[in-house]
Amino acid sequence: MAITDTRPEPVTSRAWWRSLTAWGGILAMCGGVFHTVVSTLMRQDVWARIADEGFFYVIPLLPSADRLAMAEAFWFSVGSFGVPLLLLGSLVTRLTRRGEHVPGWLGGGVIAWSVLIGLLSGFDGGTLILLLIGTLLAAGAWTTRREPSHR
């Protein structure tokens, strides 16, 4: 019995850009970087205070009134969804470039997450971009499944 190679063929540098999944991954990476950088820059004075205090054990889980600004700065920037969104986008982009399938449930999960955020806090620009990312991932998985080479 011969062992066959089941690894997917890497996609050429031009072809992977045509994938909806790739665009969802790229948008997720850009959104993650943008959110993390901008939210950190918006709280520069607080981050300077955190750095002055030594950076370790500065953010308590239940902050007192004098620590509330530091906790808010943390949870709005690096403790928020920006870093995981960057990592998710990087993984999706890598898988897409290698020609591997990204499951549709991933896009469905991002859609559900963005709808929940929108219902709880309003559908602002960030929530709509998150909804677009989920839609691109789900649509990309659906179109990939329908291609004859992936059956």
Q: Is residue 28 part of a domain?
A: yes
Q: What is the DSSP letter of 1?
A: -
Taking the model in full, what pTM does it have?
0.81
Question: By the 8 A CB rule, do 110 and 137 touch?
Answer: yes
Q: Is residue 74 part of a domain?
A: yes
The average pLDDT across 76-103 equals 93
Q: Residue 139: is its pLDDT beyond 80?
A: yes
From 2-11, 115-124, 141-150, the region with the lowest mean pLDDT: 2-11
Predicted pLDDT of residue 58: 86
- Phi, then psi, of 115 in degrees rounded to 5: -65, -40
Q: Is residue 99 part of a domain?
A: yes
Question: By the 8 A CB rule, do 28 and 134 touch?
Answer: no
Longest dimension (CA), the chain: 70
Number of domains observed in the structure of the chain = 1
Q: Is residue 12 part of a domain?
A: no
Q: Is residue 15 part of a domain?
A: no
